[in-house]
A and B are shown apart, each in its own frame.
Chain A
Amino acid sequence: MTSLQSEPFVINIGPQHPSTHGVFRLRLTMDGEKITEADMVMGYLHRSMEKLAEERTYTQNIPFTDRTDYLSAMTGNLAYVLAVERLMEVEVPERAKWLRMIMAELQRIASHAMAVGIFANDTGAWQTPVMHMFRDREKILDLFEMACGARLTLNYMRIGGVSRDIPPEWIPQAKKLLKDLPKKFAEYEDLLLTNEIIVARSRGIGVLTPDQAIAHSVSGPMLRGSGVAWDIRKADPYAAYDKVDFDVAVGTNGDVYDRFVVRMAEMRQSLRILEQALEMMPEGPVHARLGAATVQPGGQSIAPLAYRPPVGEAYARIESPRGEIGYYIVSDGSPAPFRFHIRSPSFINLTPLALMTVGSTVADAVVILGSVDIVVGEVDR
C-alpha cells in the first residue's frame, strides 16, 4: 500500500452531522478511508456560561450547571453546590447528602444508558439499542419529575441541601424500578456485549494506554477503560459515598469496547449503591439553615438568592458519568462569584481524540468519538 499515492482528502465530520452528538466538528484529513490527521474544532455551542455566571448570584447560577452537561444535570448541580458549600463552610444535613447521592446515581444510570445506546447507534445499529435505553431512562426521568418537577434541566440541588424532599410515593416507585432494571441490564449485556459485530467494531479500536490517559488528564469511564482504577467517589468521597459499598469497574484493554463494558458495569454498580441508599437513608431536614453569611446588609430578612460567601476560593470535584467534573469558584465577598470555572470532563476527555483516531478509518473515528461520550454543551460551555 505504501507505493499507492493518493491525494489527501479533507472531510468534515460536523458541525452538522448525524453522529457528532451535537455541534462538534472533526476535521479529518484522509488517505482513502484512512485518517492521517484529525483536528477538532470547538465552540459552536459556546454560550459563555462562565462569564454569565459572574453576573449572577450563587443560587441563580445553579440552572447554568444543568445546561452544561444536559444529559447529567444532577451531577452538574451537585459539583457546583459542593464548591459553594466548601466556600461558605456549610454543613449539609445527612438526608440531603443521601438524596444527592441517590439522584446522582440515578443520573449516572440514565446518562450511561444514553452513552451505551448512542455508541451502538454509532456502530450502525440503527436506533434500536438507543430506543431500548430510552425506555429505561424515561423511568428514571419520571422519578426526577416526581422529585423536582423537571425531567432534563433539573435544578434540584441547592446550596445547603436539595430544593425539596422527595414525596412519600417516590421510594416505592424507585424500588420497583430497581427491581426491574437488572433484568433489562441482563438483556442488554446479552445482546450487546457478545454481539459479534459490536466486538469486531470496537475491540482494539481507539486504544489509549494508561500513561497516555493520565498524561492527557482523562477521567471517568475513559480512564477506567484504560485500566486505571480511579474514581472520585472512592478517592475523595462526597455526599454519602463513604457509607455505601460498591466496586470500581475497570477495563483491561483501553479500547472502545472496554469503555463500553465499563459503562455497562457501572450501571450495575449504581444499582448496588441505590439499593443500599434507599434502605439506609435517614429521616430529617433536607436543607441546612444557613448562617450569618447570608444576611443581607442593612438588616433585611434572609434572602436565599443572595448569599455572600467570604472572600476566598474553592474547588469541588465529583465523579460525573463522564468523568471528573470540577467547579472552581473565587469569591470577592459580593453576591456573585468573581470567577466561575468549570473543569468539564467532556472537554478534557476529547484531548486525546487525535491520538486515538489517526491511523484508523472514518467509521472508527465515529465510534471512538461515541466512546468518549461527549456532551457538546459541556465541551463548549
Chain B
Amino acid sequence: MGLLAMLLEGEWYDFGDLAEQIEDWGAPDEAAYVLATLVATVVILLWAVLSVLAFIWIERRVVALMQNRKGPNRVGPAGLLQPVADALKLLMKEAITTAGADRILFWAAPIIIFVPTLAIFAIFPWGENMVLADLNVGVLFLLAIAGINTPAVFLAGWSSNNKYALLGSMRTIAMLISYEIIQVLALLAPVLFVSSMRMADIVSWQEDYVWIVLIQPLGLLAYIIAGAVEMNRSPADNAEAESEIVAGYHTEYGGIKFGFFYQGEYLAGFAIAAAVVTLYFGGWTLFGLEEWIPGWSIFLGKLYTIFFIYIWSRGTLPRLRIDQLMGFAWKFLLPLTIANVLIVGAEVLIWRENELSSWEALPAIAVVNLALGVVLFAGWARFLGHGKGTQAASGAILTQEIGTVHFKPAVGTEAGS
C-alpha cells in the first residue's frame, strides 16, 4: 500500500497500524515497533516545537488585543515569523554561566525541566490507538512526571547564585507541593468513575457514556486552577513574578537555556491542557465526528481551546500573594477536593451496588454533583469569610470640609481566601 493511500485512509496517524504496516513490508517484529515508535516520537517532538512557536505568536497577539496594542507585526506576514526570529536569537546568544553558580546544576536544570514535560505527551491518546505508550497507570505517570518540574525549578534557582532566583524557587517548591495534592485529588474522581488509570480507557468510557466534565464540574475547576499554578501562569505566577522578583528562578538564564525554560513552560501548559481534554472533555472524541475527521485534530483543537483559557487569564488577572495562594490551596481547594472524592466514591458505590443502568445513574450524578459543587463552593467560601473583603471595598468619602479626619479602619480586613 502506498503512502498516499495510507494518508487517505487515516492509517498514517495510527502508530499501531503503522507498525503493522512496516511489518507487512517485511521488517522483523521488534524493528517495526521501534521504527513506529521513533516516527511517533519525532512527530510529537516536531509538534511540540512548532506548537510552542505558534502559540508564542498567538499569545502575544491575543494579549496585545486585550491590551489595546498590535503585538508583533513586523517579522513576516502579520508577525508570524517573530517567534522564529526570537528562537534564532536565543540560539545565537552567548551561553553565560554566572559567577559563583553551580556549573553542573545550572546547566542541568533547563534540560531536567524540558525533557519530562515532553515525556508526558507519550501517554495521551491522540486518536484511536494513537498512543505512544499505552500505560495502564497513565494518570499516575502524568502526576509523577509533572512533579519532576519541582526539583528542576529548585535546581535552577539554587544553582544560579541569585537572590531573586532563590526566592522564586522557594516559592515554587511551596506552591507546587501544595497544588500537586490538589491535582491528585482532582484527578482521582475521573479515575473512580472509569475504574482505570489508562488514558485510552478514560477516553473510551467518555465515548460510551458522557464527558466527565458534566459529572465533575468541581474537580475540573480545581484541576484548572492547580494547573495554572503548576505552569506558573497568572494569577499564580509567583515563581517568576516580574514585578517582585524580576524573573524568579530563571533570572540568570539567557540564550538557549532560557529558551528551554520558556519552551518547557509552554509544554507544561500543553500537558495540563491535554490532561484536561483527555480526562474531562472526551479526548479525541467529539460526538461521532471522529469518524469523519482525524482524532488528533479534534484532540489538538480541544487542547488549544483549553490552553486559551490560560492565555486569557494571563491577560486579565492580577497575581495573588504567595501566602494567599497557599491559603487558597490548603483552606479552600483541599477540603473541597476531598469532599468531592468522597461524594464521587459514594456515587460510584451506589451505582455499582444497586446495579443501576448508566441512563439512570449518570443524569442523577450530573445534577447532584453540579448542585453539590455550587453549594460546597459557595458555602465553603462563605464559611471562610469570603465576601467580607469585597464588602469592605467601599468607595472614597467625598467631602468639602478641609482638615477633618475620617479614619475608621474596617474590622476583619483579613479575608479568608
Set B170, B245, B315, B397: member contacting A250, Cβ < 8 A: B397
Residue among A200, A207, A248 with max Cβ neighbours from chain B (10 Å): A200
Residues of B within 8 A of A124 (CB): 234-235, 237, 241-244, 317-320
Bound: A201/B318 CA distance, A = 9
B163 part of interface (Cβ distance < 8 Å):
yes
Set A126, A196, A207: member contacting B390, Cβ < 8 A: A196
Which B278-305 residues have a C-beta within 8 angstroms of A? Answer: none
Among B37-45, B338-346, B401-409, the stretch that binds chain A is B401-409
Contact A230 B403 (CB under 8 A): yes
Determine how close the nearest CB of chain B comes to the CB of A266; give it in whole angstroms: 8
Chain B residue with Cβ nearest A16: B246
A378 part of interface (Cβ distance < 8 Å):
no
Determine how close the nearest CB of chain A comes to the CB of B18; give it in whole angstroms: 43
Determine how close the nearest CB of chain A comes to the CB of B414; give it in whole angstroms: 7
Residues of A within 8 A of B99 (CB): none
Bound: A247/B322 CA distance, A = 38
Residues of A within 8 A of B66 (CB): 128
Contact B164 A11 (CB under 8 A): yes
Chain A residue with Cβ nearest B66: A128
Contact A204 B315 (CB under 8 A): no
Chain B residue with Cβ nearest A263: B396
Taking A229-B406, A249-B397, A254-B409 as contacts, is the C-beta distance between A197 and B167 under 8 angstroms?
no
Contact A226 B407 (CB under 8 A): yes
Set A131, A194, A250: member contacting B393, Cβ < 8 A: A194
Task: Give the contact-size bracket for chain B.
Answer: 35 or more
Contact B402 A248 (CB under 8 A): yes
Contact B390 A252 (CB under 8 A): no
B413 part of interface (Cβ distance < 8 Å):
yes
Determine how close the nearest CB of chain B comes to the CB of A296; give it in whole angstroms: 43
Set A128, A203, A251, A264: member contacting B315, Cβ < 8 A: A128
Which B166-218 residues have a C-beta within 8 angstroms of A? Answer: 167, 170-171
B321 part of interface (Cβ distance < 8 Å):
yes
Bound: A195/B103 CA distance, A = 44
> Can you list 13 contacts pairing A with B, beta carbon distance less than 8 Å?
A19-B242, A124-B319, A126-B234, A132-B68, A199-B392, A201-B318, A201-B324, A248-B399, A250-B406, A251-B397, A253-B392, A362-B245, A364-B321
A18-B246, A199-B393 known; 10 new pairs, CB 8 Å cut-off, are A11-B164, A33-B322, A124-B244, A127-B63, A128-B66, A200-B321, A228-B403, A252-B408, A252-B410, A363-B241
Interface residues of B (CB under 8 A from A): 63, 66-69, 163-164, 167, 170-171, 234-235, 237-238, 241-246, 314-324, 389-390, 392-410, 413-415, 417
